Amino acid sequence: MASERRTMTVPTRSAKSHKKSAGTPTIRLATLDDLDALVALEHAAFASDQAERRAIRHAIRSASMSVLVAVDDEKEGAEVLVAAATLERRRGTRFSRLSSIAVSPTRIGRGLGTIMLQAAEEDARIHACAALRLEVRADNGAGIRLYERHGYKRFAVIEDYYEDGMEAWRYEKAL
C-alpha cells in the first residue's frame, strides 16, 4: 500500500553493507506527512511542469503508484527530505514509469540521483515490472547523463511534450 512505511535498501557508493551509516539517507515510501516537503522539493527542483499538490497527494495514496523519498535524520532526530522519485504502473503492462525524480538543490552531484534511480528500479522489480520507462526534457543534461550512465536507452522522441514546447526523450531499461 502506498501509505505503508516501508524502508528500502539500495546499494550506494558510500555504504557497501545494507546497514544505514551516517550521511546515508533512508529511502522509504512517502506518507501524507511528507506532502509539504514534497511540494517544496518540487518547486525547488523544477522550473516548469511542476506537479500540483493534489497530484502529489493522489500519487501518495494510489495503489498503482509509488512515491519514494530519501530522508536524512541527522538534525536532532527530525527528518529532512532530500530527494524523491515517483513511479506509476498500468494494469496489464509490465512497465513501470518513472514520472519524476528530484534531488534537493543543496544536495545535487553527490550521488543521491543515483540512489533514487536504484530505489526506483528496486520498486519496479518488487511490483514484477520487466522494465522501467521515463521521459526527460531534451535539454536536461544532468537527467540525461544520469539515465544513460545507468544503462537507459533512448527509444523515442516526443515533440512538444512539455509546457514550453520542449521535446521529451523517452528512455527504457530492462530490469
Ligand X SMILES: CC(C)(COP(=O)(O)OP(=O)(O)OC[C@H]1O[C@@H](n2cnc3c(N)ncnc32)[C@H](O)[C@@H]1OP(=O)(O)O)[C@@H](O)C(=O)NCCC(=O)NCCS
- Determine, following the binding rule CB under 6 A, whether residue 100 of this chain makes contact with ligand X: yes
Q: Which is nearer to ligand X, 9 or 24 (CB)?
A: 24
Q: Which is nearer to ligand X, 109 or 165 (CB)?
A: 109
Number of residues that bind ligand X (CB under 6 A): 20
Residue among 134, 135, 125, 145 nearest 166 (CA): 135
| Contact residue for ligand X among 101, 120, 124, 129 (CB under 6 A) | 101
Determine contact, residues 96/132, Cβ cutoff 8 Å: yes
- Determine, following the binding rule CB under 6 A, whether residue 39 of this chain makes contact with ligand X: no
Q: Scan residues 132-151 and list those touching ligand X (CB under 6 A).
A: 136, 140, 142-143, 145-146
- Determine, following the binding rule CB under 6 A, whether residue 110 of this chain makes contact with ligand X: yes
- Determine, following the binding rule CB under 6 A, whether residue 58 of this chain makes contact with ligand X: no
Q: Which is nearer to ligand X, 2 or 101 (CB)?
A: 101
Query: In sequence order, which residues have a C-beta less than 8 Å from that of residue 69 and are 6 or more positions away?
Result: 27, 28, 29, 30, 34, 37, 38, 81, 83, 84
Provide the CA 58 distance to its chain's centre, in angstroms: 16
Q: Which is nearer to ligand X, 96 or 100 (CB)?
A: 100
> CA 168, CA 153: separation in Å to the nearest integer?
14
What residues form DSSP beta bridges with 106? none
- Determine, following the binding rule CB under 6 A, whether residue 103 of this chain makes contact with ligand X: yes
DSSP string, 42-66: HHHH-SSSPPPHHHHHHHHH-TTEE
Give residues in contact with ligand X (CB under 6 A): 13, 45-46, 100-103, 108-114, 136, 140, 142-143, 145-146
